[in-house]
Amino acid sequence: MISHYARILPGSLPRLFFLEGGQVARIPGGVIARVEPCSLGEVAELRPGDRLVAINDHRLRDVIDVQFYGADEELALLVERDDEEMLIHILRDYDDDLGLTFENPTFDVDIRRCNNNCDFCFVKQNARGMRRSLYVKDDDYRYSFLFGNFVTLSNLGQEDWERLEEQRLSPLYVSVHASDLDLRRRFLRRKTAPDVIEQLQRLAGLGIEVHTQIVLVPGLNDGGHLAETVARLSSLYQHPVVSIGIVPIGLTKYHPGRCRTYTVDESQEVLDQVVIWQSANREQLGCSLVHASDEWYLVAGREVPATRMYDGFPQVENGVGMVRRLLDEAVDQMGPAKRALNLKPATLVCGTLIAPVWAEVVKQLNKLSAARIQLIPVVNHFFGPVTTVSGLLTGQDVVATLRERALGDMVLLPKAMFTGSYGAGAAPPGTTLDDMHLSQINEQLETVKPGVQVETAGTLTDVISILG
């Protein structure tokens, strides 16, 4: 049974302040963007535009606080509406949710900025004149918990550690890069970077699990340095390390020139190391633990591992296992029964790196369908041909490539090239890195290809569903 009552508080209550990095910062609470139907928020008559300031006398810094302090059975919500504050009392059952979506996930201060100066930082490789949010170097452990962003933990203060202990924010995603302190400091280009191994051990003491990644730069942290880092992280298996992803450096044509990408032979050498570690780990730990991202296999010309080797795909959003998932999906959707598919003629778009894999999948689709489906890999002129992944394609490159081609009834673009961004200054969902919305791409293509429809697809299942 849910009940609530609200009362308007006399006057305007003073806002609390706290210290953030030595600076006094205001805790304003979060502005509600949406209230889910049939939720506690709707029962309490909360509205979009209301500002939720506190729960049970706890001032709210972000949505994590809302989740944490909103888990009690009795809630006193301090809400600001039209320059007045009111206190709403709610009794909730265990399964009841406030059902609130906020304009920004963090309320107290702007997103925590990165204080490192890595040569491979993608923010430093952006073109000029792009939207403001693309130049923000974020390194916020809260976004790591909420969205799976990888962070370095190099900017944590005592209040952050106290919060991690209180709220047990798990899992976190941590960029390690190198276990040796001196090497990591050279890698981050920050002389005062803390010892990440000590930080991981401290997180283990708090019962927090951590997914780690190692971004490799040729000649800097690979070879013997990589072996040392993997060994140190493996020794922390489950306390707190639950996965280790190895990812190659990503570059654009705007990179200042101090780094390069890996060659075919070098990629094969890295994979040779990974195979040895995986074999040992499966015998000793019962899991692979160490995973190379798909790019290594595609560059080296090797088959990706079997599904069982990915330990449930803990870092698929980091490009670890996406190809295997696509191949498994192809078997599930198109075999072994070889059922006939009735699909519209269409064009699938992808980046150049994944194109050979998608080409084989499209070939199978065409065998099972009377319609003709074509694959068009798009060269990334915006960031340069060295940038080959589908997620960094831009609207202008897609339009320029497709404008002179026969497209069929539909064009399916990779969902990964469109943002679902959050935070101040972020583009609205469905926007490319060069600020083209999906509807704008559709309009520009329809001027030269009347009747063509542009959609996005994230999986093969999406493709078959949309075209079926």
Cα 330 to Cα 234, 299, 369, 389: the distances in Å are: 33, 22, 14, 20
Q: What is the pLDDT of residue 64?
A: 95
Between 22-26, 111-115, 116-120, 183-187, the lowest mean confidence (pLDDT) is in 22-26
- Grade residue 7 by pLDDT with cuts at 50, 70 and 90: low
- Grade residue 118 by pLDDT with cuts at 50, 70 and 90: confident
What are 205's two structure tokens? 């003491």
CA-closest candidate to residue 422, choices 148, 49, 13? 148
pLDDT over threshold 70, residue 5: no
Between 26-35, 104-113, 158-167, 279-288, the lowest mean confidence (pLDDT) is in 104-113
CA–CA separation, 350 and 348 (whole Å): 7
Q: What is the pLDDT of residue 23?
A: 45
Q: What is the pLDDT of residue 279?
A: 97
CA–CA separation, 205 and 432 (whole Å): 41
Q: What is the pLDDT of residue 428?
A: 59
Percent of the chain with pLDDT over 90: 69
Strands 84-91, 3-8: pairing kind: antiparallel
Q: What is the pLDDT of residue 117?
A: 84
Mean pLDDT of 169-176: 98
Contacts of 199 (CB under 8 A, 6+ apart): 153, 156, 174
Q: What is the pLDDT of residue 325?
A: 96
Q: What is the pLDDT of residue 136?
A: 73
CA–CA separation, 250 and 243 (whole Å): 21
- Grade residue 26 by pLDDT with cuts at 50, 70 and 90: low
- Grade residue 454 by pLDDT with cuts at 50, 70 and 90: very high
pLDDT in tens, 414-437: 999 997 544 444 555 688 999 999
Q: What is the pLDDT of residue 343?
A: 86
Q: What is the pLDDT of residue 429?
A: 67
Q: What is the pLDDT of residue 347?
A: 95
Q: What is the pLDDT of residue 371?
A: 74
pLDDT in tens, 218-267: 999 999 999 999 999 999 999 999 999 999 999 988 887 778 999 999 99
CA-closest candidate to residue 221, choices 259, 193, 252? 259
Between 88-97, 289-298, 324-333, the lowest mean confidence (pLDDT) is in 88-97
Mean pLDDT of 161-181: 97
Cα 80 to Cα 16, 76, 98, 216, 427: the distances in Å are: 14, 13, 16, 48, 27
- Grade residue 31 by pLDDT with cuts at 50, 70 and 90: very high
Q: What is the pLDDT of residue 2?
A: 45
Q: What is the pLDDT of residue 111?
A: 75
346, β-bridge pairs = 373, 410
pLDDT over threshold 80, residue 387: yes
pLDDT in tens, 393-418: 999 999 999 998 999 999 999 999 99
Give the sign of the dihedral formed by CA 340, CA 345, CA 350, CA 353.
positive
Q: What is the pLDDT of residue 17?
A: 40
pLDDT over threshold 60, residue 367: yes
Q: What is the pLDDT of residue 20?
A: 42
Q: What is the pLDDT of residue 130?
A: 73
Diameter over CA atoms, the chain: 72
Between 19-33, 110-124, 282-296, 389-403, the lowest mean confidence (pLDDT) is in 19-33
pLDDT over threshold 50, residue 73: yes
- Grade residue 333 by pLDDT with cuts at 50, 70 and 90: confident
What are 348's two structure tokens? 């699938």
pTM of the model: 0.89
